[in-house]
Amino acid sequence: MPIETTETVAAAHAELDTLDPLAMARCFIAAQQGAVAAALAAGDRIGAAAAAAVPRLRRGGRLLYFGAGTSGRLALLDAVELVPTFSWPAQRAIATLAGGPGAVHQAVEGAEDDAAQAEHDLMALSPTADDVVIGVAASGRTPYAMAVLRAARPLGALTIAIVNNPGAPMLALAEHGIVLDTGAEVIAGSTRLKAGTAQKIALNTLSSCIMVQLEKVYGNLMVDLKATNAKLVARATDLVVRLTGSDTPTAERTLQACALEVKTAVVALRCGLDPVDARARLSGRGGSLRRALRDPL
């Protein structure tokens, strides 16, 4: 059985509790550099998983995240943030935690060991071959996450495993295995530290790569944001001004007429179209602002 590096006791930190608060803080922060290094080393695998996911999502598939404890909460955070950032439908980014919704705020003992419940939770979502199932577990052997991947693969869903231990059994259950080899933690076994940070980086990178490929970004601008508060409406207005060269009042009026859709407002102003025709032009080009502005009328 492979050594679980996330459970290894780091000799370098054996005197952790004797450090003064400043030295202790520096120790914890310095250790986080290992999370970045681990994510960089897994970059090609993350990119390959994103590339494999995009065709399924273009066909209407969903991102289905599963995990327990810290891993599950990080997966939930990634799913939730896709809605305001990219206007991704909430029903197409679903995170399920071992132990249910209550596990977000409080540990549910034994939930991560319940393989039968894991399969039940997956099947309750009626997964299809167009769905992307992402299992996240630092150890890479959490029964809940393993059961989800084991059940999802025969259904034809794309399966992705994100783990922190090389050789973890979850890797054999997924088409795309992503290893974030963060090694021993400053506090032995506390994977909410750099293992969790590496998972956050990997999840951010995976979903962001997917959304860029799905035409949710123009250049590096967040043109598909959901403007649900004053700050985001101001950001949306600034984007319209930047991309059209219009004055702020014109951008504000057009944005409001286009239901606060930045891409629609930009096409309307740049192509001289009303909101209905601008939206249709975008739709006919797969939601791509670049193609909507580039292709002949």
Domains of the chain: 5-213 (3.40.50.10490), 230-294 (1.10.8.1080)
Residue 297 is predicted with a pLDDT of 61
Residue 3 pLDDT greater than 90, yes or no: no
Percentage of the residues of the chain whose pLDDT score is greater than 90: 89
Tell me what the mean pLDDT of segment 79-99 comes to: 96
Residue 37 is predicted with a pLDDT of 97
pLDDT of 19-33, one tens digit each?
Answer: 999 999 999 999 999
Question: What is the pLDDT confidence band of residue 107, given thresholds at 50, 70 and 90?
Answer: confident
Whether 4 is catalytic = no
Residue 9 pLDDT greater than 90, yes or no: no
Query: What's the whole-number average pLDDT of the chain?
Result: 95
- The answer to whether the CB of 71 falls within 8 A of the CB of 199 is yes
Residue 232 is predicted with a pLDDT of 95
Residue 8 is predicted with a pLDDT of 85
Residue 5 is predicted with a pLDDT of 85
Strand order in the sheet with 93-97: 93-97, 63-67, 132-137, 158-163, 176-179
Distance separating alpha carbons of residues 202 and 190, to the nearest angstrom: 18
- The answer to whether the CB of 153 falls within 8 A of the CB of 159 is yes
- Among residues 4, 7, 112, 261, the one annotated as catalytic is 112
Distance separating alpha carbons of residues 34 and 205, to the nearest angstrom: 17
Q: Which of 176, 106, 100 is nearest to 136 (CA)?
A: 176
pLDDT of 161-212, one tens digit each?
Answer: 999 999 999 999 999 999 999 999 999 989 999 999 999 999 999 999 999 9
The DSSP bridge partners found for residue 65 are 95, 134
Q: What is the number of other CB atoms lying within 10 angstroms of the CB of residue 239?
A: 22
Residue 296 is predicted with a pLDDT of 64
- Greater confidence (92 vs 3) lies with 92
- Among residues 7, 15, 81, 109, the one annotated as catalytic is 81
Distance separating alpha carbons of residues 81 and 67, to the nearest angstrom: 17
Whether 112 is catalytic = yes
pLDDT of 113-163, one tens digit each?
Answer: 899 999 999 999 999 999 999 999 999 999 999 999 999 999 999 999 999
SS (H, E, C) the chain: CCCCHHHCECHHHCCHHHCCHHHHHHHHHHHCHHHHHHHHHCHHHHHHHHHHHHHHHHCCCCEEEEECHHHHHHHHHHHHHHHHHHCCCHHHEEEEECCCHHHHCCCCCCHHHCHHHHHHHHHCCCCCCCCEEEEEECCCCCHHHHHHHHHHHHHCCEEEEEECCCCCHHHHHCCEEEECCCCCECCCCCCCCHHHHHHHHHHHHHHHHHHHHCCCCECCECCCCCCCCHHHHHHHHHHHHHHHCCCHHHHHHHHHHCCCCHHHHHHHHHHCCCHHHHHHHHHCCCCCHHHHHHCCC
Q: What is the pTM of this model?
A: 0.93
Residue 7 is predicted with a pLDDT of 83
Residue 214 pLDDT greater than 80, yes or no: yes
Residue 105 is predicted with a pLDDT of 87
